[in-house]
Chains A and B, each alone.
Chain A
């Protein structure tokens, strides 16, 4: 059973940050909402690119995100986590990742969010391929 609310979306669609922010839910005990958008840069290894194509092993990605969420819940008093990761073609300046962590205080919200992103880059089976401009 999870006390922490979890929402994971792996999608080919653009990340609608306004809709995500509009959908935020916080209890009276939560005083910190930290969110992060990872955006595709215009260069990769010094060369200009037009986009990054993301490939995911989706079933395993869902499993690994679930394990990370469970571990995050053990480490910090997080009330909710929402994470969106794009797959397919993501153009320069578009978000490939959006994460929000809601917790009682900012220290744990920042720490949990940072940890989650570091860990996803280590274990979640998603890969990128730069697409030339």
Chain B
């Protein structure tokens, strides 16, 4: 399956892109996707503990099972206000 991935804030600088795509085996989780992404973008790995992840417009735990066509977003802690 294929998922789309968006990066926000300084994660765009760390990865050098605002968005990308990734292929995963069926049943792959958000954590599986994350491991592939830090393989491609090693600078992201240093931010692991503070990385927030969403599928669509909702936060999801790393155990969340992805499906084909999902839109995943990765970003650092939020700073609104």
A residues in contact (CB < 8 Å) with B:
38, 54-57, 59-64, 85, 96-97, 117, 120-129
Contact = CB atoms under 8 A, between A and B. Distances in A.
| 8 closest A-B pairs by CB | A126-B80, A127-B9, A63-B57, A60-B57, A128-B79, A121-B81, A124-B80, A127-B79
A124 B9 CA distance: 13
B78 A59 contact: no
A120 B9 contact: no
The interface residues of chain A, by DSSP majority, are classed as: mixed
Place the interface of chain B in its size category.
Answer: 10 to 19
Q: Secondary structure of the B side of the interface?
A: loop
Given A57-B73, A63-B57, A122 B8 contact: no
A97 to B, nearest CB: 5
A126 B78 contact: yes
Given A55-B8, A55-B9, A60-B73, A124 B58 contact: no
A64 to B, nearest CB: 8
B80 A57 contact: no
